[in-house]
A and B are shown apart, each in its own frame.
Chain A
């Protein structure tokens, strides 16, 4: 139904005021990032999948602008343009509209996000626990109860991979495909039997660089086939990948035990408090042991905030569709009429500020509450 009556508007405003009061009392600076944003920042960072859901338009000069699809990037941009030293610890909160196509070819949707972003925190585990606690407190202040918290942790997965002996480029590819379960699975299967890879339309090109100076061999092959070079991709870039493909052929296969460990980890889910014991059963070595200790500190930090890890869930797969997170991911669900509804989500995204122009990597953790969903499940 289009628009809001005065009663609906007032009810939403009252609920949002209660949420924001929690954030402000906790010392978060209430800012108002721009609604209209340069499109390329969203698009170049995330690619076409975000673009498909973003309302993009041109200004009279032909620049591509967009209505913000979320408030995290706008808050980061606000920080980078206002903070003297972007690495200094800063805590923001915000409330405002965001705009998305729910799906391609359907009409756009506007909704409100209330959230916090915490930049440059020096105690990562503590900041994460605090953000989760604040999210819960804000939702409770809005009138919700019986909240279910679900956690995932991309740091654990990266630590698990870091421990396994395999070429770095394999690790890089597995990390890159973590977000896409089908492609990830195909990659694992390929690494399990690299020598048995099928011949493809480029196998002869790979043969051509084998044992030769790759740059020269690539250039010679292009000349031999009389293929002109187009696009900005250089001979060096093409040669680099041919060399990698050639190296893959003679690589030791990823042992079955390692693949089992990866799969066992990805299948891990259950009550958060039970996870450390389950992690101990995985055959990780040094770094992963470090990540395990880190995870135990995380549980302690949550307890320090008065949260009960026996009443929270963990799922190793959780976060696989949320591309910019780098460590902790979490979401809060509430029982609704038919199925549980996700009313808030967040996590750690340590690369984003640097990607947007900060001179160094700056720790960042935040959350966003979907205001209309909260309203929908309130009694």
Chain B
């Protein structure tokens, strides 16, 4: 059988939790010393080769077909893979790394509770200020899809690489779409989540290329057992 390549986060909490889960499932992740640590194996699973990659690379390399399976955040996956792309599927939610992708606006917008308010504000803002509401985010595609679904138009996205929550106070955007776990960072920045502003309840997932689904099934099963133990 053909060897499958599994992308695993190369650093951070996601890497630790992934390594811990695989060890619990009886197939510890091992780095190859010879490959400067960018390649590895799964103990007792010769059919799978491991590639250590960043979370966003895992999504794009899945799409490009350079890896067959990957562990990454659902947020990153849904941002990078179009919903109509049937070539990639999530085979198992892994539970760790929980975080919500949300729409948040300044607390001082006392008149805004929901996405429908946002649409009206977008119109009012353009009329009075001559430019569109700016949404700071690294989730360009998730934002577009969600806003379109909620019937909000007349905004524009400004790309934000980091510290998105600071954009409204800094004057570089009016609102944000960002990931949050407890909401504390948002409140500290005087931002509030809209009542219907939850875009995605994300966590780490095992995803695979549809073509590799058969090979991925036994691994997903092992992880499922380890998760429920």
Contacts and interface: CB of A to CB of B under 8 A. Distances in A.
A239 B108 CA distance: 11
Interface string A212-240: 00000010011001011111111001111
Given A177-B151, A233-B174, A242 B190 contact: no
Given A202-B111, A205-B110, A230 B155 contact: no
Contact of A205 (B82, B111, B126, B171): B111
A242 B109 CA distance: 10
B144 A104 contact: yes
A205 B155 CA distance: 25
A375 interface: no
Given A201-B113, A205-B110, A234-B128, 11 more contacts: A47-B132, A47-B155, A48-B156, A179-B153, A218-B110, A225-B107, A230-B171, A238-B109, A239-B111, A241-B112, A241-B117
Given A105-B81, A105-B85, A49 B153 contact: yes
B82 A176 contact: no
B195 A201 contact: yes
Interface string B77-108: 00011101100000000000000000000111
B108 A227 contact: yes
B141 A104 contact: yes
Q: Is the interface of A mostly helix, strand, loop or mixed?
A: helix
B81 A233 contact: no
Interface residues of B, number: 49
B168 A230 contact: yes
A180 B151 contact: yes
A284 B60 CA distance: 55
B156 A231 contact: no
Interface string A98-125: 0000011110000000000000000000
B81 to A, nearest CB: 7
Interface in A181-222: 182-183, 186-187, 200-202, 205-206, 218, 221-222
A44 interface: yes
B135 to A, nearest CB: 8
Contacts of B112: 202, 241
B147 interface: yes
Contact of A103 (B84, B117, B122, B151): B84
B121 interface: yes
B227 interface: no
